[in-house]
Amino acid sequence: MPRTFSSINAVRYLLSLAAGALIPLGFSPFDYWPISMLAVGAIFLLSRNLPVKVTALCGFVFGLGMFGAGTSWVYVSIHEFGAASPLLAGLLTSLFVAGVSAAMILPLFWIYGWLNQRKTNAGNKLQPWQQALLFAGLWVLFEWVRSWLFTGFPWLLLGYTLIDTPFSGLAPVTGTYGLSLLITATICLLVTLLIPSSQKKQNLLALLPFMACWALAWSLSSVQWTEKTGTLSFSAVQGNIPQSLKWDPRYVQSTLNTYMDLSEDHWDQDLVIWPENAIPLFYNRAKGLMNQLDRHAKQNNSALILGMPVDDNSGDRTRYYNGILSMGAGEGMYFKQQLVPFGEYVPMEFALRGLIDFFNLPMSDFSKGSPEQELLKAGNAQIAPYICYEVVYPDFAAQLANDSDLLITISNDTWFGQSIGPVQHFQIARMRALETGRYMIRATNDGITALINEKGKVLETIPRFTQGVLSSEAETRSGNTLFMVTGSLPTLLLCLCMIGLALFIRSMHRQVI
């Protein structure tokens, strides 16, 4: 049994780190999806038939590469807007990457390594095709675990890499996790054909159902799961307010003037949309302004949907919410349910609050909105609202979209500057439109503001880091995709079945590979 830190294993760890660092190349803005697929195949080969500890360490350094390269935008938020020095920001970013890898990737590989050491019912070690099914099933289960563990960080889910391919048609059926399973199982079974002395016939037989799924995904791309019921004219306003000035009390009037001026020629639209926290004032402290906006929108028979923080004084203490409001010809108020750790609330606040500016960012004391909230209305249209980070949760987004005619997501990705983070976020939003078969309007402070159709395709957009208004028409649609009805449950059950098949089926041949 090789030692955990032998020279051979050191090379294995370096290759695992490199494989992880290649994963983000499959996502926007790069979109080289086969590279991510090959990287998964590489880590599967690198971690086969090893002691449990070695397998787990391969997984951990793979996670370091994946999250280190794919979520490096965390550094921008900590350094530029959290007022942390480059050294401290680098340290905190490294701790974040290590923490996510240790909590969400290392256990996957530890369990895989442990189960891989078990023998089958026939008394043999797992054959390569069984190892592939086991690895793929665990991979997707842990992608799902990432959506809720420690409030969730469902970033870099492999399924997103297929959004611009002919195979994205599977998303309205299985959701993102189903696409991840298709990618992972296929590449792992393909690389088993490269293993010397392995039983290629069995590997091919296990591969065939997944190859058929690729053909099915292709054919599903032309299926319409929802139907058009009407159109809404809209204008989405991109204010491009610098983050350094957004919460400065001296700049509040300038911010309001910016949005009013940009909207001036667009009140004839059915819908005007301002982004997340477009108004940097608490709702109950800006009642006069809100009444004025409400009257102005009503006079023009237009609905105004905007983001702003809301202070609720109805309880024993004041609670603060990240809100989105509809007024004028619309109605409703929605409070964000999925909060961003450190950005909107501080875990272990008693210990961290005040240590550095990053733990005391503006609007970092929000409460979580109730899951029992009504959809927003704009005229007769029912609108499912998502505030920034909420759009990254596949099942949450699908559930919220039920009974809706249109999706709207508002965001403020200014926190991440010119990094790849906002582009990844936009790609995720597009997948939500595809999974639910609905048009989505995305309004952001500095981009990417866009209109996305029910296939997840971008119809119109305006440049990032500019002030502007996106005016167009969005379809309202009715009906549910299969994913909206079932959620991710069928995919998760399939993963469990694959793991069970890998572990408990009697081997076709009593042979040790």
Q: Which residues are catalytic?
A: 276, 336, 388
Note the helical H segments in 364-420. 394-401
Contact 179, 171 (CB under 8 A): yes
CA atoms within a 13 Å half-sphere pointing along the CA-CB vector of 394: 33
What length does the chain have?
513
Cα-based angle 36, 39, 43 (whole degrees, multiple of 5): 145
Coil, helix or strand at residue 244: helix
Contact 63, 100 (CB under 8 A): yes
From residue 470, give the alpha-carbon distance in Å to each of 174, 188, 262, 474. Answer: 32, 43, 11, 12
The CA R_g of the chain, rounded to the nearest whole Å, is 24
Note the helical H segments in 32-120. 33-46, 52-70, 74-76, 86-104, 106-116
- Residues β-bridged to residue 330: 378
DSSP state of 340: P
Cis peptide before 341 (omega within 30 of 0): no
What's the rounded Cα separation, in Å, for the pair 456 and 138?
A: 28
What's the rounded Cα separation, in Å, for the pair 423 and 413?
A: 9
Contact 42, 13 (CB under 8 A): no
Closest CA to 185 of 154, 153, 220, 217: 217
3-state secondary structure 159-192: HHHHCCCHHHHHHHHHCHHHHHHHHHHHHHHHHH
Contact 24, 157 (CB under 8 A): no
